[in-house]
Amino acid sequence: AQSVTQPDIHITVSEGASLELRCNYSYGATPYLFWYVQSPGQGLQLLLKYFSGDTLVQGIKGFEAEFKRSQSSFNLRKPSVHWSDAAEYFCAVGARGFQKLVFGTGTRLLVSP
Amino acid sequence: DGGITQSPKYLFRKEGQNVTLSCEQNLNHDAMYWYRQDPGQGLRLIYYSQIVNDFQKGDIAEGYSVSREKKESFPLTVTSAQKNPTAFYLCASINPGGLTEAFFGQGTRLTVV
């Protein structure tokens, strides 16, 4: 069965500092991987996705993520965080056919001045 | 513009009452999903539907029911059997045949009063 682990519930980063949010997945076949962002009381917006090919994927708002099959990880990174990046971030794993898209429990990012 | 519309944005339910949450999409997606979101628990799958007139239970289907009479619509009914319905509910749709991501509505916040 698919599963996703986001080990950090909260992370606080200073504005302008770099960011890395961790995501580990469990899936028997080649996964489809996603990072979504959610502002309070809103739906989820896609930041980036990985289906195949280059393991370093670029997304919106300056985010990137790297797929590491050997570590079953898909960590999200940003070189310089802005105050507007404060939100909750979700990692998700799926497969072709999308019978189930499984989400992690989320990481809440706080940005300090 | 294509997208997913959830209504209402806020909903209040009295004890013992059934309520129905609406989800409509004009993306021509075959698959639709209902997720429940609680603080610290991420998104948990309630029901999903791959095609019209067919749907499957997700991980937390007890106390919920759905229908899929039209491709565009996937309403969720929260029945009186759901003992703790207060939560944020998110509807999503996917084109399972293509390499794409899940699109989300803006959510409905249900509160029991």
Q: Which residue of B has its CA nearest to A4?
A: B42
The band of B23, judged by pLDDT with boundaries at 50, 70 and 90, is very high
Q: Which residue of A has its CA nearest to B57?
A: A100
Q: Which residue of A has its CA nearest to B36?
A: A103
Q: Do A98 and B99 touch (CB under 8 A)?
A: no
Q: What count of residues does chain B have?
A: 113
Contacts of A106 in chain B (CB under 8 A): 40, 42
Q: Do B94 and A42 touch (CB under 8 A)?
A: no
Model confidence pLDDT, tens digit, residues B52-106: 999 999 999 999 999 999 999 999 999 998 889 999 999 999 876 665 788 999 9
HEC per residue, chain B:
CCCEEEECCEEEECCCCCEEEEEEECCCCCEEEEEEECCCCCEEEEEEEEECCEEEECCCCCCEEECCCECCECCEEECCCCCCCCEEEEEEEECCCCCCCCEECCCEEEEEC
Q: What are phi and psi of B96, to 5 degrees?
A: -65, -20
Q: How far is A16 from chain B (nearest CA, A)?
A: 27
A21-25, A98-102, B14-18, B30-34: least confidently modelled range: A98-102
Of B4, B99, B102, the CB nearest to A101: B102
Model confidence pLDDT, tens digit, residues A80-110: 999 999 999 999 998 766 667 889 999 999 9
Q: Do A100 and B105 touch (CB under 8 A)?
A: no
* A76 pLDDT above the threshold of 80: yes
Q: Do B96 and A102 touch (CB under 8 A)?
A: no
